[in-house]
Structure 1
Amino acid sequence: MLNKPSALNSLRAGTVISQYDPYVVADAMKQYLRSLPQPLLTSHLLGEWARALEIKDRAVQLRRLQQIAHRMPPEYERNAGYLFRFLHRFTEYSARNRMTPAGLAIIFGPALLTAPAPASSSSTGADEPQTTTLADSNSGGHQNGNVYVSIV
C-alpha cells in the first residue's frame, strides 16, 4: 500500500516510481489533488495559463509561465513545484512505466485546473463541475507536461 503523505511529500521520486505500480502512484496523486480546496493551478489564473501556452517562443513562454506561477498562493506554488519535479522524474521512467508527458497531461490535467463555475447556472447541469483544462485549451496537450515541469 502506498503511503501518500510519506512517499509523495518527501519526493523520493526514484524510490516511489521503482517500488510501486505507476498507476497506483498516479491515482494517489490524483486523489490528493482532488482533495485540495481549489485546483492546484488555481481557477482564477485559467485564462492566463491558456494565453501563456499560446506563446510560440519557448523562452518567452517559460518566463510568462514562471510569472503566473509566482501569482499563485505560496503553498500552491510550492506544491506545484514538487509535483512537476516528481512528474518530470516519472517521465524519465516512461520506457518502463509507459507514463509519457501526454499521458500524464490527460491523467492530471482535470485535477490540476478547472474553470470556475459560472456565476449564474441554468437548470440543466448546474450541479456538474466545470472541467475545462489547459489541455482542452491547447491542442498540444502533450507539450504541456514538459512546460509545467519548467514553471517552478
Structure 2
Amino acid sequence: MYFRELPNPLLTDQLYEKFSEAVGATTDEEQLVRMQDVIQQLPAPHYRTLEYLMRHLARLAGNCSVTNMHAKNLAIVWAPNLL
C-alpha cells in the first residue's frame, strides 16, 4: 500500500515511457540492456529502494515452494504498484 500511495511512483512518472519502451524490446537481451539503462537513470533514493525491494522479492521467489510466489506471480502483484 505504501508504494501505491507514493506521490511519485518508485519507478517515477518521468521514466514511465522509457520503461514501457524497454519492456517492448524485441529480444530478451535487448530488453535487459534497456531496462538496466533506465534503472540507472532513477534518482538515488529510488534506486536504493528498488535495489532493496528486488533483493527481498528475489528471496521470496527463491522460496516459492513455501511462499507459492513465483517470479511471475510477484511481478503481477508488484508491477502496478511500482509504476
Give the alignment's TM-score, normalised by structure 2.
Answer: 0.85
Query: Bigger relative contact order, structure 1 or 2, given CA contacts below 8 A and separation 6+?
Result: 2
Percent identity between matched residues is 34
What residue number does 2:69 align with? 99
Q: Which amino acid aligns with 2:77?
A: I
- Return the structure number with greater helix share: 2
- Which of 74, 85, 102 matches 2:55? 85
1:43 aligns with 2:13: yes
1:32 aligns with 2:2: yes
Give the alignment's TM-score, normalised by structure 1.
Answer: 0.50
Moved over 2 A (4+): 34-37, 56-60
1:107, 1:61 → 2: CA distance? 21
Count how many residue pairs are aligned between Structure 1 and Structure 2.
83
SS at match of 1:33: coil
1:89, 1:56 → 2: CA distance? 29
Question: Tell me, which stretches of 5 or more residues in structure 1 are unaligned?
Answer: 1-30, 114-152
Larger Rg: 1
1:108, 1:60 → 2: CA distance? 23
CA RMSD in angstroms comes to 1.5
Question: Tell me, which stretches of 5 or more residues in structure 2 are unaligned?
Answer: none
2:77, 2:29 → 1: CA distance? 26
